[in-house]
Amino acid sequence: MVSYKDLGLVNSRELFKKAVTGGYAIPAFNFNNMEQMQAIIQACVETKSPVILQVSSGARKYANQTILRYMAEGGVKYAAELGYPIPIVLHLDHGDSFELCKSCIEFGFSSVMIDGSKLPYDENVRLTKQVVDYAHQYDVTVEGELGVLAGVEDDVHSETQQYTRPEEVQDFVGKTGVDSLAIAIGTSHGAYKFKPGQKPEIRLDILHEIEKKLPGFPIVLHGSSSVPQDIVAEINQYGGKLKAAIGIPEDQLREAAKSAVCKINIDSDSRLAMTAAIRKVFVEHPEEFDPRKYLGPARDKMKELYIHKVVNVLGSNDKA
C-alpha cells in the first residue's frame, strides 16, 4: 500500500471547498505521456493554479499505470523545482469497477472516479457507495456520476445523452457519501460535440436546479473541451482532415465555473494542440526526424493552451 500523502499529492476535498466558495473551478487535465505532464505542470506553476492530473483507462493501457504514477510523483517534484509547489491531485478518470478503484488507491492515487452512470440507478448507488466506503478509509476522495454523456472515446462510449435528473441528486449523494458529482448537462467527450448548424449550448438551467438541491456541493463537468477553431484550422492547414469539430463555448464554461462547478475535465483540446504543432513541424521541416524537434513545440503549444484555460475559463490562477 502506497499512500498518496507520502508522494506529496493531495486529495480534492480542500481544493473543491475553496473553489466552490471562490467561484472558480480546478482544472482536470488528462495525461498520457511526459510532454503532456510537463506542459500541465509548467502551465499551472506559472499561473499558480492547483491541478488535477487525470489518468483514464485508455492512458493506463497506453502508458502503463506504474509509469503514469511515477510521472505524477515526478510532477510534484518538478513543480517544486520550477519554484512553486502547487497542490496536485492524482485522479483516476472514469473508473469502471471497485477493483480498479481499489488498485489505484493502493497504488498512490489521491482521488478516484467511479463511473456507474450507465448502470441502473440502484446499482450505481451500490457500486459508488462500495468505492466511497473503501476510499474514505485512506482519505481518498471519490467522484460519482449521474446522467449519461453522449460521445465516443476509446473507453468511454455512449451514443445517447441523458441529462442528470435534479430530483435524484440529493438521494444519490446522501446514500453514497460521494465527495463530488459529475453531471450531464449537454457536454460530451471528444471533438464533435454538436452537429453543424446546431447551437452549441449546455443546460445551465439544469445545473442551477441541481445547485439548489445541493447547496455548496462540488459539481464536475466532463467533456468540456472547447475545440478551439484556430487550432482545428491549423491542423487542417497542415494536412489534417477534421471536419465540423465543435466544442463547448468557453463563456458557458466560465459561467458554470462561477457556480457549483468546481472541476472541469479537458482532454481533447490538448490532443488538438499537440496534433497541430506536430503537423506544422512535419510540413515545414520534412527533413526533421529528431522527436524532440516536434514534441518540444507540441509541449509548448499545450502549455499555452493550459494557461489560457486556467486564466480565461477556470479562473483558478493565483489560487494555489
Q: Which residues would be at the binding site for ligand 13P (CB under 6 A)?
A: 30, 93-94, 189-190, 222-225, 265-268
93 is catalytic: yes
Distance CA 26, CA 44 (A): 11
**Minimum gap (Å) between residue 299 Cβ and ligand G3H:** 19
From ligand G3H, ligand 13P, Zn ion, none, which one binds at residue 225 (CB under 5 to 8 Å depending on kind)?
ligand 13P
**Minimum gap (Å) between residue 14 Cβ and ligand G3H:** 25
According to DSSP, the β-strands at 157-158 and 150-152 are: antiparallel
Q: What is the per-residue binding string for ligand G3H in 66-95, x denoting contact by CB under 6 A?
A: ---------------------------xx-
**Minimum gap (Å) between residue 125 Cβ and ligand 13P:** 21
From Zn ion, ligand G3H, ligand 13P, none, which one binds at residue 224 (CB under 5 to 8 Å depending on kind)?
ligand 13P
163 touches 202 (CB < 8 A): no
Number of residues that bind Zn ion (CB under 5 A): 1
CA 85 to chain centre: 20
Q: Give 314's DSSP letter.
A: I
Cell 494542440, located at residue: 273
Residue 64 grid cell: 502503463
According to DSSP, the β-strands at 188-189 and 180-183 are: unpaired
Catalytic position from the list 93, 179, 267, 269: 93
Q: Which positions from 184 through 223 interact with Zn ion, judged by CB under 5 A? A: 222
Q: Give 157's DSSP letter.
A: E
Query: Which C-beta is closer to Zn ion: that of 155 or that of 304?
Result: 155
Q: Which positions from 215 through 274 interact with ligand G3H, judged by CB under 6 A? A: 267
CA 109 to chain centre: 15
> Could you tell me the sign of the dihedral formed by the alpha carbons of 134, 135, 139, 141, in that order?
negative
Distance CA 106, CA 270 (A): 29
Distance CA 10, CA 313 (A): 23
**Minimum gap (Å) between residue 268 Cβ and ligand G3H:** 6
Q: What is the per-residue binding string for Zn ion in 76-95, x denoting contact by CB under 5 A?
A: --------------------
Q: Which positions from 222 through 251 interact with Zn ion, judged by CB under 5 A? A: 222
Closest among 145, 149, 139 to 125, alpha carbons compared: 145
**Minimum gap (Å) between residue 61 Cβ and ligand G3H:** 8
Beta bridge partners of 188: 150
Distance CA 135, CA 21 (A): 25
Query: Which C-beta is closer to ligand G3H: that of 92 or that of 235?
Result: 92
Part of the chain binding ligand G3H (CB under 6 A), chosen from 35-43, 53-61, 79-87, 171-179: 53-61
Mapping DSSP to helix (H, G, I), strand (E, B) and coil, where does residue 91 land? strand
The residues that touch Zn ion, with contacts defined as CB under 5 A, are 222
Residues serving a catalytic function are 93
Binding residues (CB under 6 A) for ligand G3H: these are: 30, 56-59, 93-94, 153-156, 189, 267
